[in-house]
A and B are shown apart, each in its own frame.
Chain A
């Protein structure tokens, strides 16, 4: 229990730092802004209490907001993502339910499951975020294109990060 807590705390700090110090400075044009930090919410353990889930989403979002000068936008998107996560997990649950003590990662549940699960969460997160940023519907399709392109890149980063950590665990 305690080790899970410490592990997640370290993951939180590392992901936020990677996001604001590295990914923020990578420029792939104005259509593509990947947000790797959502990985934190994606891989929280299955038995995380719901209030912990949503509060950590809020803290994560507000921390990223501080660096992006976006005042509540990332927080709103991350809270929404945390709220919708249990429903998405139910939607994709295997027939015998999730094994106790596991995490929703590629190692435990495989690539196709992980991509569909995290893909939906990422698209929803980016949808809320980008529409809050624009704050009007007059640029609807332009924003939608940004949402989809950015989601693809975030998903790519999330999967790559998963494999990096996977390898580390095997060598340990």
Chain B
């Protein structure tokens, strides 16, 4: 026992190194395999506040673009409301119609931090659990999809951007509904993503619209993703690999919407129940 202690004491540098390195690798692996709420990320207090302050300065330079975008969107929304429904009650526009029920609610949020040049990119938004944000909610802008909420703190949340090697979005071709997983591959730059597994009988044309499919519980259906830039059939494969030009400009993100699927839990519970029933039999 004594000689063991002496051995460790003599080689303490090596052991300290192995201990710390093991701890670091543990953190990395845990982060890779479990989407747990972690405390060392940019939604924690100190770094989020520093980043928020830095973003406040940066935002002044984006004001013009943001205003133009908001104006456009306001105009679009106004057209929709006046033309169709709405009963004015207490200054609030509500739809009184029992044919429809609400499935999604939207929360607007400001981007506090964003990157496009890493292999795994994340965003930080200024809304958190106090505003009702939860894990795995989807994030969109007026021009298209952005990503999925990963970790949430009281006032901030981090979002796994579409520009992340771990993001997969179930998407489909708008004109005929054939679907496949959309990913951000090694060879893609920040404005391109890759859509896999599109059967070769589909008549693709450059410029076809790609939207989200109804199979994901996080994204609403028919949210714009981008347009077909090019497509190839690799030798020996029965599918097209499609390069998609993303409609969202990830370098200019400043305001986004967080989408809450109200019926998500109900759907997942039901699906889980059916699965476990089959297993038990």
Contact = CB atoms under 8 A, between A and B. Distances in A.
Interface of A: 20-21, 24, 27-30, 33, 50-51, 54-55, 58, 61-62, 65-73, 75-76, 79-80, 83, 86, 132-135, 139, 142
B54 A30 contact: no
Interface residues of B, number: 38
B8 interface: no
B13 A54 contact: yes
Contact of B117 (A29, A67, A139): A29
A72 B190 CA distance: 25
Contacts of B51: 20, 67
Contacts, number: 98
Interface of B: 12-13, 16-17, 20-21, 23-28, 30-32, 38, 40-42, 44, 46-47, 50-51, 54, 115-120, 122, 124, 158, 165, 186, 189-190
A65 B116 contact: no
Contacts of B116: 27
A128 B23 CA distance: 15
Contacts of B186: 139, 142
B24 A69 contact: no
Contacts of A61: 24
Contact of B54 (A21, A28, A62, A73): A21
Nearest to B114: A25
Given A71-B41, A72-B26, A133-B119, A66 B17 contact: no
Contacts of A69: 41-42, 122, 124, 158
A65 B40 contact: yes
B21 A80 contact: yes
Given A30-B119, A79-B17, A134-B119, A72 B24 contact: yes
A68 to B, nearest CB: 8
**Which 8 A/B pairs are nearest by Cβ-Cβ distance?**
A72-B27, A76-B24, A71-B31, A83-B17, A72-B24, A69-B122, A72-B28, A66-B47
Contacts of A29: 117
Q: Which of B17, B20, B27 gathers most chain A CB within 10 Å?
A: B20
Contacts of B25: 72, 76, 132
Contacts of B12: 50-51
A37 B190 CA distance: 26
A79 B24 contact: yes
